[in-house]
Structure 1
Amino acid sequence: MFLITLLQIVELLTSVLLMLIIVQFVIGLLFAFNVVNQSNQFAATVYNSINTLLEPVLAPIRRILPRTGAIDFSPLVLIIILQLVEIVLRNVAVAAA
């Protein structure tokens, strides 16, 4: 029972982080292609807030990954790690049940 609850919490956190990563990516693209100006106070505030939330999670991954220029692969690596943790927890919960 404990493992199922832990799995549900991890799934919830994974969903929240995934949505934050997607929103960060989309707003970053909107800024990069000048669809939204960076002087737009609302978009800049949302983008900076999301960056502040994700930076503690992405910074250790960025330190490990090699530099790739303008492309940041750390969000993709984070998504893969979160999915792997979910899979392992799900399998452990099923095996324990």
Structure 2
Amino acid sequence: MTTFYQVVMLLLDILWFVMIAHIIMSWLINFQVLNLRQPLVAQLWDGLNRLLEPLYAPIRRLLPYAGGLDLAPLVVFIGIVVIRMAMQNNAAFFYG
């Protein structure tokens, strides 16, 4: 069970960093630091969107419209923190 705990924590960490990269890249695109006409930027942006859209889409359907402000990443971040805290508080179950 220790391996299961470590794998889940690793996957949550990877998801955390992918989301951070997506958020930073969205800011850079919106402030026109990055240009989607560049092939590498466009491919990276498309890849990140394809990875994260299955997480964001159901949450976007549940959240009320916030005037162009996308709160889905915030909800996913809170979910990741809650899952991490729950797993760390119950780590004895995995090591026992």
Shorter-chain TM range is 0.7 to 0.9
1:52 is the counterpart of 2:33? no
Instruction: Give me the identity figure in percent.
Output: 34
Question: Aligned Cα RMSD in Å?
Answer: 1.5
Match of 1:20 in 2: 18
Within 5 A, what are the aligned runs for 1:1-97?
2=1, 4-94=2-92, 97=96
Higher relative contact order, structure no. (Cα contacts within 8 Å, ≥ 6 residues apart): 1
User: Which residue type is aligned with residue 67 of structure 1?
Assistant: Y
3-state SS of paired residue (2:90): helix
- Consecutive unaligned residues in structure 2, runs of 5 or more: none
- Once the 2 structures are TM-superposed, how far is the Cα of residue 80 of structure 1 from its aligned partner? 0.9
Cα distance in 1, alignment partners of residues 93 and 46 from structure 2:
42
User: Which residue type is aligned with residue 81 of structure 1?
Assistant: G
TM-score (norm 2): 0.87
User: Which residue type is aligned with residue 72 of structure 1?
Assistant: D
Pairs aligned (count): 95
Cα distance in 2, alignment partners of residues 83 and 9 from structure 1:
16
- Once the 2 structures are TM-superposed, how far is the Cα of residue 95 of structure 1 from its aligned partner? 5.5
Q: Is the contact between residue 24 and residue 50 of structure 1 (CA under 8 Å) also seen in structure 2? A: yes
- Consecutive unaligned residues in structure 1, runs of 5 or more: none
User: Which residue type is aligned with residue 14 of structure 1?
Assistant: L
